[in-house]
Structure 1
C-alpha cells in the first residue's frame, strides 16, 4: 500500500514539473514594457490582457484631449461655427509651441480635428473657452463626464493636458477610450493622416503625431499621443490583434519613441499567444 502511495506521489510530481516549467517560461516571456504603467484590454469584452501598475495615478498629458473632444461633441454646439484663437489660448504654463497665431479664424470642426490628430493646444484651449460657462464650465463638464464613466481616480483641471494636475490611471483611461471609441467623429479625426488648415498666416499641413496610424497591419481605430516632462511619453491606441480590436494604454515611457515601442512589444506578445 505504501509503495502505491509513493507511486502516486511521484506520478503527480512528475506531472506538475512540466506545468510549473511552462508557467515559468510564460512569465519570463512577459513583454519588457519600459513605461511606468500600461494596460492592454479587449475592446469588445473589456477583459484585461496585460497590466503593469494599471492603478497608479499619473499625469496623462494630451491623452486628456479624448475627454475634451467628448465634451465638445456632447455640447451639440455646431462644429461648422467659426472660432478665433485669442491671447487667452496661449499656453503660459509650459509655453508650448503652436502653429496657430493669435487671430487665426478656423471652423470649430477644424480645431477639433487638429487637437485630436496633432495635439494642437491652442485649438483645444479655444474650444474650451467657446463653451457655456467658459473654460471653467468646460473643465467642470470634463470632470462630470469622467465621473459618469467611473474614472474614480482621475481629475482634470485643463482641456489640453499641459497641467501635471490632469491625472488618471491606465485602467481609468481604458474607460475613457472605450467611450471615445463610440464617437465616429473622434475615430475619424484621431486616425486621419493629415489635414490642410487655412486661417492662420497661410496654408498649414498638420500631420498625425502617431506613426502607428500609417501602418496598415495595425488597423488603428483610435489613437492619442501625449507628452510633458512630468507625464513622460504617453499613448492610447486601439489596434487589431487576431482580428479583434484591442486597446493599449501606455503611461510614462521614458524614451522619445518608448510609448510606440512598448505598444509594439505588447501587441507582438499578444499576437504570439
Structure 2
C-alpha cells in the first residue's frame, strides 16, 4: 500500500515538473474542453466576428422564433430609412387576428379595428415573441407576408448568411399556418438556419441596430392591458426560479420553440466592454437552452481575453522597407495602419504571428514599388496567423483571416528624367562590365 502511495506521489511530481519545464498552461488545456449539450452551437466575438467555439455550426435546423431576428432587422431598417416610424399606426388584418386568437401560437389576443403603433407591435414581437404582431409588421412593411419573405431572403443573401431558408416571418412551420402560408412558399416548408447563420444575423442586428437590445432586455411591458413578460430567463429577474440561469451582462436576444426545432436561443451579453453572441439549437427543454447558453458564455468570458497583439505602426523586423524603382529614394518604409486585436484563449498569447501580403498590382516584375508613392498610400495588408489549437475562423462567409492595411510611412517622388537617364546609362555599362568580367573569367577557368 505504501509503495502505491509513493508511486502516486512520484507520478504527480513528474507531471508537475513536465508542466513547469515545457511552459504548459494547465488552464489553457482545460479551456479547450467545453461540452455543450445541444445539436448545434456557436460562440462569436461580436466586435471582430471571431468564432471562439463551434459545434455542428453549419447544420441547417429549424430556428423557430429565432427567425424573428430577421423580421426585427427589416423593421429597424425601414425605420432607419424613414419608410415608417415608431409612431406609425396600422390595424390588424384577418390573418394575424386569427393567429392572435390562438393561444397555442403565442397569441395575445389583438383587436381588429384598432390602431396599433409600430412600437407596440415590435414590443410584442421582441419581448414575448408574439406571432400575430410579427405578421402585422411584415404586412405593414411589404404589403403581404409573401412579399416580406422575399425581402427576408434577399437580406439574408446580402448579409452573406451561409445556410438559410425563410418561408415566413415568425418561425412557425408553414403547415401550422394552414391556408395562410405566405404566397410563393411551400405549404409544408419550414424556416431553416444554421447556428453560424443565426449568429451572423444576430451580429448584424446588434451592430447595425443596437436599439434592438433595449427591447430584448425589457423584462415587462403591456399591450391592450395584457402583460408582456420576457421569455429570456437569463435576464436579471427578481425570481428565485430563474436564479440558476442568471448571467450578468445578458441583454438579448431571441428564444424559440417548435416541436420540430426543439428549444433554441440566440443570446448576447456585454461584460467589461466585451460583447459575445452565442447560439444553441435543439436543446431538450426550456431550461436547458439557458443552462447551455450560460455554460458557453462562462467559457467565453473566463477562458478568453481581448488583447492588442500588434500595435498600430507595427513593422516586421527586416521587412520594414520595400525597394522603390524610378524614385528619388531607393526604398520606402511600411507600417500597419491600426492595431491588430484578437480574442485570445488563455495561455495562447504566443500562438500568433503575422505576415505581409503586398499588393502585386503596385509592384513591377522585380518586386519593386514604382514611384511616385504617396505618404499613407496602401501598399498591402498584414495578416494575423494563428498557430495554436482549433482555429474556427471568423463568422463572415469566406473571411477566415484578420488583416490590417500596410501603409507607406513617407512619400517618394518620381525621379526627374535626367536622373532616370543616368540610372539607365549606369545600368547599361554595369551590364557590359559584368558581361566582360564573366567572359574573362571564362578564359582562365
What secondary structure is seen at the aligned counterpart in 2 of 1:129? helix
Are positions 1:96 and 2:105 aligned together? yes
Q: Any unmatched runs of 5+ in structure 1?
A: 1-13
Higher relative contact order (CA 8 A, sep 6+): 1
Q: What is the CA deviation profile of residues 8-31 of structure 1, one whole-angstrom value per residue up to 9, with x for unaligned ones? A: xxxxxx68997899599537x623
Equivalent pair of 1:112/1:123 in contact (CA under 8 Å):
yes
Residues 31-180 of structure 1 aligned to structure 2 (within 5 Å): 31-75=34-78, 76-89=83-96, 90-91=98-99, 95-103=104-112, 105-163=115-173, 165-180=190-205
Distance 1:253 1:91, change over 3 A: same
Other-structure match for 1:205: 227
Give, in whole Å, the separation in 2 of the partners of 1:187 and 1:46.
18
Q: Which has the larger radius of gyration?
A: 2
Give, in whole Å, the separation in 2 of the partners of 1:25 and 1:16.
14
Give, in whole Å, the separation in 2 of the partners of 1:217 and 1:34.
18
Q: TM-score, normalised by structure 2?
A: 0.53
Structure having the higher helix fraction is 1
Other-structure match for 2:322: none
Task: Give the length in aligned residue pairs.
Answer: 255
Give, in whole Å, the separation in 1 of the partners of 2:34 and 2:22.
22
Equivalent pair of 2:63/2:281 in contact (CA under 8 Å):
yes
Pick which of 218-227 and 33-42 moved more: 218-227
Other-structure match for 2:341: none
Give, in whole Å, the separation in 2 of the partners of 1:229 and 1:254.
11
Distance 1:94 1:158, change over 3 A: farther
Pick which of 244-253 and 87-96 moved more: 87-96
Of 184, 189, 193, the residue aligned with 2:219 is: 193
Q: What is the CA deviation profile of residues 24-73 of structure 1, one whole-angstrom value per residue up to 9, with x for unaligned ones? A: 9537x623311110101111111111111000011000011111011122
What secondary structure is seen at the aligned counterpart in 1 of 2:293? helix
Q: What is the CA deviation profile of residues 86-129 of structure 1, one whole-angstrom value per residue up to 9, with x for unaligned ones? A: 32113499951411235254212110111011101110011112
What secondary structure is seen at the aligned counterpart in 1 of 2:164? coil
Distance 1:82 1:153, change over 3 A: same
Q: What is the CA deviation profile of residues 142-177 of structure 1, one whole-angstrom value per residue up to 9, with x for unaligned ones? A: 111111110131110100001262111111112100
Pick which of 93-102 and 261-270 moved more: 93-102
Equivalent pair of 1:131/1:137 in contact (CA under 8 Å):
no
Equivalent pair of 1:87/1:102 in contact (CA under 8 Å):
no
Give, in whole Å, the separation in 2 of the partners of 1:23 and 1:17.
16
Kindly report the root-mean-square deviation, in angstroms, between the aligned alpha carbons of the 2 structures: 2.8
Other-structure match for 2:270: 240
Q: CA deviation at 1:197?
A: 1.6
